[in-house]
Structure 1
């Protein structure tokens, strides 16, 4: 391992350590009603975000392209955007802070998994040289962040409707408010996902001469977007809420994970060529 790669890996593991510290303090603070501990958990989380961002920037300078080629780059940038977006959203919507109990672990697990891959330098194909690719990737990552938050609130809905509730759940807003946050952030994710697909189709036309080719990544992405559309449609027009809406959203979320993390590695997908 050369010196520059060693610096990148070291920064990533420092970020993982800080995320773990933040997660431990955050989860303990929420579950055991230690408000001070929960609030202070954001300090190591913010420090981790800075170190993590420095690692991404350092690697970007070395390889000469953004974090969207190797699996390690994709997972790392997904983790960073998820945490960064959450930090922004809690400034706008302070009542979503309890979602950190799932957002924090998701972030450090994605980064820890990224560190398991070989961060070898991948050359950038000429077809990647487009601003539409930046929009395509960035909006998928933002969509993922919002969908993780909606997932957290969908889980909260299920937990709050159990007969025997954990005491910390009483600290959450009422069930209707929790359900509403799940609905709203799912709507955010639906919009960002749509923009990502549209940007991707324009990029595909400039790269391969066609807007749509029923590639596995494209097909699964469209299927996922349609399912989230069905979820929103059922909620708005058929007044779905509570447990059935939460379970339906969780199913959609699991499919979105397949779309984002698995389909790009299918051998029949043209996208797989960029991740070898």
Structure 2
């Protein structure tokens, strides 16, 4: 067993090294207007993603359940889906490559944090054995990925608007285009978050006989989703854009972090086994 732990840890650190190299290449490529270097950086991230995925699969086989209970496996799987989704999105939207200066560091930081939390093998509670739970988790992870990309473009807008990141700005669309990317990926995150909540409600009914019981995680998830809805509503019907929309999205992003990583720590939560 110790050998398996060492193998999984070593594989994850190998992925971190590749992600760091990819980050350096993408950041240098974007800041110094070397698009080929940035593209090669994404290519370096691909074997890291494969290695990372292999580590998660080995861990999955070791513990006998999906990577969604222990802090290590939650953070690691979030990072994997974030980077996988980002690489897929860059195929139809090449201008998204610039968001790699945020996505790639977020990926290796999440994996490294998971490793520092010391991986533990945990038994999956009976109520967690449901296909609806798997769908619930997958959709939330996809939503989280879209939200980070939207956050990256909101951050770009705020910094470029203030005269910073001028070299990076040359690799990005104009301010209107940056704002549009933030809006569109926020909408994507909002949609997948809603589907994740719906799947979670069905799982709750299957496990506890009720669709909703105002559990702290459920409540904060609903609040976060509602704030995202307000953001999108203000943009669509009240013509909010630019700085005030970007600042509002920063608030949305902060609520996302609270909802996904802080509220599960409440002992009163039915999600108390998650992220412990």
TM, length-normalised to structure 2 = 0.97
2:134 equivalent to 1:108? no
2:231 equivalent to 1:254? no
Look up the match of 1:78: 78
User: How far, CA to CA, are the matches of 2:200 and 2:257 in structure 1?
Assistant: 18
User: How far, CA to CA, are the matches of 1:16 and 1:96 in structure 2?
Assistant: 22
How far off its partner does 1:269 sit?
A: 1.3
How far off its partner does 1:122 sit?
A: 0.6
Look up the match of 1:120: 120
User: How far, CA to CA, are the matches of 2:102 and 2:273 in structure 1?
Assistant: 32
CA RMSD of aligned residues (A): 1.2
Q: Is the 8 A contact 2:139 2:193 kept in 1?
A: yes
**Map of 1:123-272 to 2, 5 A cutoff?**
123-163=123-163, 166-272=166-272
Q: Is the 8 A contact 2:143 2:190 kept in 1?
A: yes
Flag structure 1 segments of 5+ consecutive residues without an equivalent.
Answer: none
Q: Secondary structure at the match of 2:120?
A: coil
Q: Is the 8 A contact 2:30 2:38 kept in 1?
A: yes
Q: Is the 8 A contact 2:69 2:273 kept in 1?
A: no
Look up the match of 1:15: 15
Q: Is the 8 A contact 2:76 2:111 kept in 1?
A: yes
TM, length-normalised to structure 1 = 0.97
Q: Is the 8 A contact 2:70 2:275 kept in 1?
A: yes
User: How far, CA to CA, are the matches of 1:83 and 1:202 in structure 2?
Assistant: 28
How far off its partner does 1:187 sit?
A: 0.2
**Map of 1:47-66 to 2, 5 A cutoff?**
47-66=47-66
How far off its partner does 1:167 sit?
A: 2.2
User: How far, CA to CA, are the matches of 2:241 and 2:2 in structure 1?
Assistant: 54
Structure 1 stretch 34-43 or stretch 128-137: which is displaced more?
34-43
Structure 1 stretch 115-124 or stretch 165-174: which is displaced more?
165-174
Alpha-carbon displacement from aligned partner over 1:182-215 (angstroms, at most 9, x marks no partner):
0000000000000000000100111111111111
Q: Secondary structure at the match of 1:62?
A: helix
Flag structure 2 segments of 5+ consecutive residues without an equivalent.
Answer: none
Q: Is the 8 A contact 2:136 2:200 kept in 1?
A: yes
How far off its partner does 1:84 sit?
A: 0.2
How far off its partner does 1:22 sit?
A: 0.6
Alpha-carbon displacement from aligned partner over 1:155-205 (angstroms, at most 9, x marks no partner):
111122224552221221111111111000000000000000000010011
Q: Secondary structure at the match of 2:211?
A: coil
**Alignment length (residue pairs):** 276
User: How far, CA to CA, are the matches of 2:28 and 2:102 in structure 1?
Assistant: 13
How far off its partner does 1:96 sit?
A: 1.4
Alpha-carbon displacement from aligned partner over 1:201-234 (angstroms, at most 9, x marks no partner):
1001111111111111001000000000000000
Q: Secondary structure at the match of 1:147?
A: helix
How far off its partner does 1:142 sit?
A: 0.1
Cα gap change, 1:203 to 1:162, in 2 (>3 Å): same
User: How far, CA to CA, are the matches of 1:182 and 1:105 in structure 2?
Assistant: 19
How far off its partner does 1:14 sit?
A: 0.4
Cα gap change, 1:117 to 1:198, in 2 (>3 Å): same
User: How far, CA to CA, are the matches of 1:15 and 1:8 in structure 2?
Assistant: 11
2:12 equivalent to 1:29? no
